[in-house]
Amino acid sequence: MNYNHSHRDGSTIILRVMCAIVFLTFSFLWLYFFQADVLAVAQHVLSHGKTHYNGLLGAVLITLVLWTLQVVVAVLLKLSKRCYAFTFLPSMLMLGLLSDIDTDIDRHISLGAWWWGFPLILIFWGVLVLLARVYQSVEPQEPGGIFSRRVWVNMLVMALMMIGVVSVANTQAAFHYRAHIETSLLRGDFEEALRVGERSLESDASLTMLRVYALARQGELGERLFHYPVSLKGIDVLPLGSSSVRTVIYPADSIYRFLGAVPKSSVKTTAQYLSLLEENDKATPAVRDYQLCAMLIDKDIDGFARAIGRYYEVNDSLPRHYREALVLYHHLRSHPVLVLHDEVMETDYSDFRAMEDQLTEKSERKVRVGEKFYGTYWYYYYYL
C-alpha cells in the first residue's frame, strides 16, 4: 500500500476544505449582512422595478454560483499545494464586481474602472497561474495538516483576496444607510428605518429626507429630527422638483399619500405642494410638522414663531424641538410675537449658554458643547 500517496490525498483534502470554508463563510456573510440592501437597490434599478431581491436567498445563490465557478477553475487548472488559493481569484473578482455598486446607479449605470481593471487582473492572474504550475511541479513534499505551512500560505492568499474585495466595494456609509432605510420602509418597519445609522454623523440630503418621512410616520418629527445629522434645506424635505433628494426603491407616491394626495405635474416645489394640501383640506396632521420642521431646518425661527400657533396650542406639551426653538426665539428677539413658559427648557438653555461662555476656543467649544447638547435645536442652530 502507498501510504505516502494516502498522506498527500489527506493533506490536499484538508487544504481544499479549509479554503472552501473560508470562502463560503466570507461570501455569505459579506453578501447577507453588508451588501443585501445595496444589491436590492441594484436589482430594482436593473430590472426596472419588475423583480425583488431577497437578501437570504440572494446571498446563498450567489455564494453557491461563485463556489461552483471556483470548483470548475480548480478542475481545469489542477493547482494544489501552496498555490491552490489562486483558484478562488475569479470568484473573488466577481464578488468584488458585485460589491462595487455606484452610489448613483439609479441615474447612470457604468462599470467605471472595471472595463479595463477586470481583464487586466485576469491577465495578471493567468501569468501567476502559469508560474504556480511550474513551481508546484518542483515544490518539495511537506507534512500536511491544519497547521502546516502549506495551509497557512493559502490562508494568507485568501485573506489578501478578501481584503481586495472589501477595498473595491462601495463602502460609503450614507449610501448603505439609504438602501437599508428604503428596504425597511418597504416592509413598513419604521422603527428599523430610524435605527439605521442613528449614532453616525454620515449623512446626505436623500438620507435626511427619508428620515424625515420615517419620523413623521412615527409621529416623532418635532421630537427627534435634530438627533440625526440634517443635510438638506427645507425645500428638500420632499423629493419634489429637486435634484438633491430622491427615493430609489421606495415609491415617492407613498410619501405623498401619507401627507394627503399625490401632487399634480404642475406642482413644482415642496412649499407649493404643502400649501395646496392645506388650501384644499387634504392635508393630514403630518403636513403641519413638515411645514414647521422645514422652517427650523432653514433656521427661520421668525416664520416658525408666526406659524406654530396655527397648528398647536403653545404650552409645555409641544414636541421637544418646537419648545427649544421657541425658547431660542424668545432670547434672540426683543419683541417676540409669542412666549413659551417652560421652566425646564429655560434652565437647559441657560446651561447651554453658560457652557458656551466658559469656552473661548471655537473648535473646542463645538466639541464640548456637542458632547452634552448634540441633538438639541440649539446646537443645530449655532453649530450645524
Question: Which amino acid is it at 31?
Answer: L
Which own/partner contact pairs does 21-29 have at CB distance under 8 Å and 24+ positions apart?
A: 22/155, 22/158, 23/66, 23/67, 23/70, 23/88, 23/91, 23/92, 23/158, 24/63, 24/67, 26/162, 26/165, 27/59, 27/62, 27/63, 27/66, 27/67, 27/91, 27/95, 28/59, 28/60, 28/63
pLDDT in tens, 260-273: 999 988 888 899 99
Q: Report d(CA 245, CA 233) in Å as an integer.
A: 10
What does each C-alpha distance from 91 to 14, 78, 87, 127, 203 come to in angstroms? 20, 16, 8, 17, 33
- Sign for the CA dihedral angle at 127, 128, 133, 139 comes to positive
Amino acid (1-letter code) at residue 324:
E
360-364: average pLDDT: 88
Q: What secondary structure does DSSP assign to 193-244, as a single string?
A: HHHTTTT-----HHHHHHHHHHHHHTT-HHHHGGGS---S-GGGSSSSS-SS
Burial class (CB in 10 A: 0-12, 13-18, 19+), 78: exposed
Q: Over the stretch 229-242, which tens digit does the pLDDT of each residue have?
A: 999 999 999 998 76
pLDDT at residue 2, rounded to an integer: 45
- Share the mean pLDDT of the chain: 90
297 with 328: CB under 8 angstroms? no
Identify the pLDDT of residue 83: 80
pLDDT tens digit string along 20-39?
999 999 999 999 999 999 99
Residues 43 and 51: beta-carbon distance below 8 Å:
yes
Model confidence band, residue 6 (pLDDT cutoffs 50, 70, 90): very low
pLDDT in tens, 159-171: 999 999 999 999 9
Tell me, what's the pLDDT at 7? 43
Widest CA span in the chain: 102
The pLDDT of residue 108: 76
DSSP-derived letter for residue 109 is -
Band (105; pLDDT cuts 50, 70, 90): confident
Are residues 86 and 129 in contact, defined by beta-carbon separation less than 8 angstroms? yes
Band of residue 145 on the pLDDT scale cut at 50, 70, 90 = low
- pLDDT given for residue 1 in this prediction: 43
pLDDT higher at 108 or 315:
315
* pLDDT for 137: 59
CA distances (Å), origin 160, targets 50, 89, 135, 172: 37, 10, 20, 21
Angle between helices 36-46 and 55-77 (to 10 degrees): 90
Residue 117 has pLDDT above 90, yes or no: no
Residue 143: band (very low, low, confident or very high) from pLDDT cuts 50, 70, 90: low
- The pLDDT of residue 5 is 46
Average of per-residue pLDDT across 313-319: 93
